[in-house]
Amino acid sequence: MDTTLLDLQHITQTFHRPEGRDLKVLDDVSLSLKEGEIVGLLGKSGSGKSTLLRIIAGLISPSTGTVTFNGMPVSQDALGIAMVFQTFALFPWLTVLENVELGLEALGVAEKEMRGRALEAIDLIGLDGYESAYPRELSGGMKQRVGFARALVVNPAILLMDEPFSALDVLTAETLKTDFLDLWVEKKMPLKSVLLVTHNIEEAVLMSDRILIFAANPGHIAAEIKVDLRYPRDRQSAAFTAMVEQIYTLMTSGMQKRDVTAAAQRAEVTMYDKLPRVSPNQLAGLMEELAAPPYNGRADLPALDQALGLGTEEILHLIEALRLLKLAEVAEGDIQLTPLGKMFADAGTQKRKMIFAEHLIQNIPLAAFIYRVLQSRPGHQAPRIRFLTQLEDNMAEEDAEEALSAVTSWARYAELFAYDDNAEMYSLENPSA
Ligand code: ADP
Ligand code: MG
């Protein structure tokens, strides 16, 4: 089990943007895939996971660093490496069979062989009988099975999976994961190794032999965890939940030095840091929940995640926001309300707004900045574009929009300043103050 199939050394990726600063998305990423293993790459959205997969597949070349597959540099038509996408990426005007055959067309396989192999792949992945159906006639789960068949039909040695289950409902995703693992364990696929990108901790623990924890800004591997559990894995087992817990702790303990969460701990958030887009009502709801029994101010994160059922990524965003606002702290896999967080939870609406406004000004530089600009302008008004342009010059476009939306919704709740959606104008709620 020690044969290295794929090897990445010191990969960095910087995107050059026509205006504003260049964006460094990956920083010194080294990893290898060995024969017989499923490796999970676990990280939040925007951390550069898809970019890394595109580099491995030879679709883009990295700014620096090398990718070798079987000891050879990977090129554009990386034979032996196939990919499954989150969005299925099927052609609507082609049938299931034709979509799968497409995987082979580029390889110049003879028509008859192409058909035979496509039918085999369709059969293997459980789509028998759907050969002449069109994508629109299929459920999400079936569509993704086509995605798998199209990847597997080329007999790849390595399968790259980019959040392949995250667009599916929970039950459908579960079935597909189990089916895939059965095929893997029984060696029914020609695959030698799998790289699974996900933002779901349970999914990573369910499927991987090794988990690489990917941290953001810029993307880098922050930790590696071996999962020594036999397939099929039992989510209810003590070993499984302990592993999920351990990863939670790693992902929330501030070990991700370059993350905004860690920046928040050091009280160094700048105007250009990413902000999680969560609604103030959800934040308030979470604080109430935390303050009340059985938690009484402190909760085990995985237990809280289970109890709320919002999804791990959502919870991580909410917690990040509470930490940034200094309304809660995270330690050893637990979240704990700060004294002011407790006060907030116990307060009535007006007092809550005051506490929130105060925390926004003190801890979120972007909120303070917008507030100051509005104060300094004669009419106490400014268009959205005024702030968006400045943010976009200094951070990724998506992140800029997201940060501005987050601050806007928080400030509205706190009545710190107002925003008119139609006019796209900010104004002070109470200019005389
Ligand atoms: P993930 O898959 O982890 O969600 P991505 O790799 O898709 O992350 O994106 C990471 C960052 O790189 C994002 O901020 C995204 O906007 C940026 N990015 C991705 N591709 C490009 C590109 N071609 N040009 C500029 N920025 C890009
Ligand atoms: Mg992605």
**Rg of the chain taking only CA atoms, in angstroms:** 24
Closest ligand 1 atom to Cα of 23:
26
CB of 45 closer than 6 A to ligand 1?
yes
Q: How far is the CA of 27 from the centre of ligand 1 (A)?
A: 13
- Phi, psi at 58, each rounded to 5°: 80, 15
Which numbered atom of ligand 1 lies nearest the CA of 163? Answer: 2
Question: In the chain, which residues have pLDDT < 50?
Answer: 1, 255-267, 433
Using an 8 Å Cβ cutoff, are 157 and 191 in contact? yes
List pLDDT tens digits, range 311-334. Answer: 777 888 898 899 889 899 887 778
User: What residues are paired with 198 via a beta bridge?
Assistant: 42
Q: How far does residue 102's CA lie from ligand 1's centre (Å)?
A: 27
At residue 330, the pLDDT reads 84
- Quick one: which of 171, 367, 206 has its CA closest to 280? 367
Cα–Cα distances (Å) from 273 to 52, 324, 351, 401, 406, in that order, read 22, 11, 28, 12, 12
User: What atom in ligand 1 is closest to the CA of residue 52?
Assistant: 6
DSSP state letters, 229-281: -PSSP-TTSHHHHHHHHHHHHHHHTT--TTSHHHHHHTT---TTS------HH
Protein residue with its CA nearest to atom 5 in ligand 1: 48
- Exposure string over 143-161, b if 16+ CB within 10 A, otherwise e: bbbbbbbbbbbbbbbbbbb
The residue assigned the tokens 């887009």 is 277
pLDDT at 431: 60
Q: How far is CA 38 from CA 16, 135, 168, 231, 288, in A?
A: 33, 29, 21, 12, 40
- Token pair belonging to 126: 């459980």
Q: Is 46 in the pocket of ligand 1 (CB under 6 A)?
A: yes
Assigned token pair, 317? 């965003």
Angle, CA 389 vertex, CA 383 and CA 394 arms, to 5°: 145
pTM beyond 0.85, yes or no: no
Q: What is d(CA 164, CA 177) in angstroms, rounded to the nearest whole number?
A: 9
* Atom 6, ligand 1: residue with shortest CA distance: 48
Q: Name the amino acid, one letter, at 150.
A: R
Distance, CA of 53 to chain centre: 14
Distance CA 382, CA 208 (A): 50
Q: Please, what are the domains in the chain? A: 4-252 (3.40.50.300), 276-345 (1.10.10.10), 364-427 (no CATH)
Q: Is the CB of 398 under 6 A from ligand 1?
A: yes
* pLDDT computed for residue 49 by the predictor: 95
**Tokens standing for 232?**
């099929």
Task: Report the pLDDT value the prediction gives residue 153, as an integer from 0 to 100.
Answer: 95
End-to-end CA distance of the chain: 69
Residues with Cβ within 5 Å of ion ligand 2?
50
CA nearest 98: which of 90, 110, 107, 108?
A: 90
Q: For 269-313, what is each residue's pLDDT tens digit? A: 788 888 888 998 889 999 999 999 999 999 988 888 888 877 777
How many A from CA of 273 to the centre of ligand 1?
Answer: 16
298-331 core/surface letters (b: 16 or more CB in 10 A; e: else) = ebbbbebbeebeeebeebbbbbbbbbbbbbbbbe
E strand residue ranges, 86-192: 158-162
* Cα–Cα distances in angstroms (integers) from residue 269 to residues 70, 124, 219, 359, in the given order: 43, 50, 18, 13
HSE of 371, CA atoms in CB hemisphere, 13 A: 22
- How buried is 39 (Cβ within 10 angstroms: 0-12 exposed, 13-18 middle, 19+ buried)? buried
List, in sequence order, every residue forming a beta bridge with 160; answer none if it has no partner.
Answer: 83, 195
